[in-house]
Structure 1
């Protein structure tokens, strides 16, 4: 297996979209110089789980692939929301994958050294609730031994697990890489520190980006647990008091910050679950700026960007990205939406749960 060809940090592209509609095409390495002293950058430090598991549906003997898509319980880490496919692998486009064997409650799946039971069938033939048999330690050992990163057909060679970890990856908690974090490297973090630009992390269980079915994709993102450390909450509060920008590295960071937000823009410490969706009319109480990948209209990530920018500006940005040959997908180029939001202006729109 190989690491993804993410392209060198110094050759990747960055489109900066300013509040007045100005757009700048820059090398992504210039990210280190774009913010001001006192600003706070917040990134997702979740490491990516080997969440794709191939095996057998014991009742029928048929092949099955399970893609873990979400934690069902913060107290029981052996229970998951999962997407099921039939025979095949990532080299077939997700939308062309075979359906899974006919599943029933109580069915057992043999997934390498692991065995799992179907706890509940949900309202789509690919969507199930799954519990691994045995304890937490045995489950993680089995994932490490047999699991692979969730992967899509646009990357032809199999990915190594370390190839989907960002430089700041810590706790294994995400189901797909919090890919905006691929824009960060140690040189950028060092420059920010020298320039008194704050850096904080949270841990968010970034979920799957595609299920292969448009109806099911329209329900993304699923509920996602997150953890806000005490130090990060304190840094957010200090940035708010200073009137400094808070820059979210990726949509998963926006979702966690907004789920934990208080009316004054501070954030609550601890574990919780981000539910619902952030979209065009969602008030943003924390983040002022977002660094993200190149997303397409209709994707859940793109829908979140509509909370930062109106459709006209997003359409102009999409046209500039296409004209500039920017790469999409998780190992692609980056966009910085440097736009004033209600959070930045200190204004308060009518509140709505994120």
Structure 2
């Protein structure tokens, strides 16, 4: 596989690796996505817009340069933007790989940060020298204005140029709550959605605060994904229930959608509308209750996104899929190619296992 180096959301040559429930692998053009859907299936996508979550500034006590990457918050409420978890880096820019970035100065509760027009205080450490809870100062209006003025989207070293905010908003972007783009949604455009309706395939959205894909630290990366708040509209919950009743498939556009729906159904197997916080980690020991198919990026083994795919297909099938992605030089990362993975046909049990927290972010991580 190779990294996609241009921020083009829907390139004409984008590809789709299809893995069906029997483990059969097929290579298709990504624009053929709608042809794999059946009447009475439903497609659920994440409509979160991406925050300018990267903030450069100064660690006041030492005067050293820092970068703050906002990583989580306990609510999607627009007026609750004072409290964030964050990953901090020292001097450097996006041309350096995250793993090569310098550490920030030693951080302690009470430390003040100046982030352009924003000021912030370190409230507490979250189990790692670079992982903290921050409180941003000022009214919600001031914080939103300052984020828009000073913040930038999280940048990637594999891209040749810096990303603008519009590069990371999907066509269906609504409330700005994601810390990195829910990039599986780049597969969508309004023509595709129109095609779904023409095929009697229902489409709906939820909002999930997609988190960081990498922290630059192997130990912290093992804790990904962190807790992520979500909101499921009543219409979306009702559509999923109706789809299951008529034996259609629930197709999730992205791992964030899988995480939200499975968390919302974790109590009794029914997706409940409303707000929640996805605290579970989905992986090979998870029995999926709701989602039948996931459409995602081409992820490399070892990443948290890849681990989630192991709930849909066994190790051998995913190894063959990875080999096919490598052999055919699929593009990885946010602007890369896509995979369609159906839940294995013998997996219909209604039990879910969640991995324990390791970092203590809010309730769990």
User: Common fold, TM-score beyond 0.5?
Assistant: yes
SS in 1 for 2:322: helix
Question: How far off its partner does 1:353 sit?
Answer: 4.8
- Pairs within 5 Å for 1:1-354: 4-6=6-8, 8-73=10-75, 76-261=80-265, 265-340=269-344, 347-353=348-354
How far is the alpha carbon of 1:121 from its aligned partner? 1.6
> Are the counterparts in 2 of residues 4 and 163 from structure 1 also a CA contact under 8 Å?
no
After superposition, the C-alpha distances for 1:16-68 in whole angstroms (9 at most, x for unaligned) are: 11122221111111112220111000000000000000000111111010000
**Contact 1:4–1:164 (Cα < 8 Å) also in 2:** no
Aligned 8 A contact 1:114 1:139 in 2: yes
CA distance, structure 1, for counterparts of residue 157 and residue 66 of structure 2: 18
Q: Give the TM-score normalised by structure 2.
A: 0.92
The count of corresponding residues between Structure 1 and Structure 2 is: 349
Closer/same/farther in 2, CA of residues 311 and 340 from structure 1, 3 Å limit: closer
Map Cα deviations across residues 301-327 of structure 1 (whole Å, 9 max, x no partner): 000011000000000000000111100
Q: CA deviation at 1:135?
A: 1.2
CA contact (8 A) 1:64 1:87 kept: yes
* Larger RCO, structures 1/2 (Cα 8 Å, 6+ apart): 2
8 A contact 1:9–1:28 mirrored in 2: no
Deviations 1:217-272 (A, max 9, x none): 00000000000000000000000100100000010000000010156642011011
Which ranges in structure 1 are unaligned for 5 or more consecutive residues?
Answer: none
Select between 209-218 and 23-32 the one with higher mean Cα deviation.
23-32
Q: Is the 8 A contact 2:67 2:91 kept in 1?
A: yes
Which segment drifts farther, 25-34 or 195-204?
Answer: 25-34
1:319–1:198 CA distance, 2 compared to 1 (3 A): same
- Paired with 1:120 and 1:32, the residues of 2 have a C-alpha distance of 47
3-state SS of paired residue (1:145): helix
SS in 1 for 2:119: strand
Q: Give the whole-Å Cα distance in 2 for the aligned partners of 1:74 and 1:203.
A: 9
d(CA) in 2 for partners of 1:18 and 1:127? 39
Give the SS at the match of 1:117: strand
Q: What SS does the aligned partner of 2:127 have?
A: coil
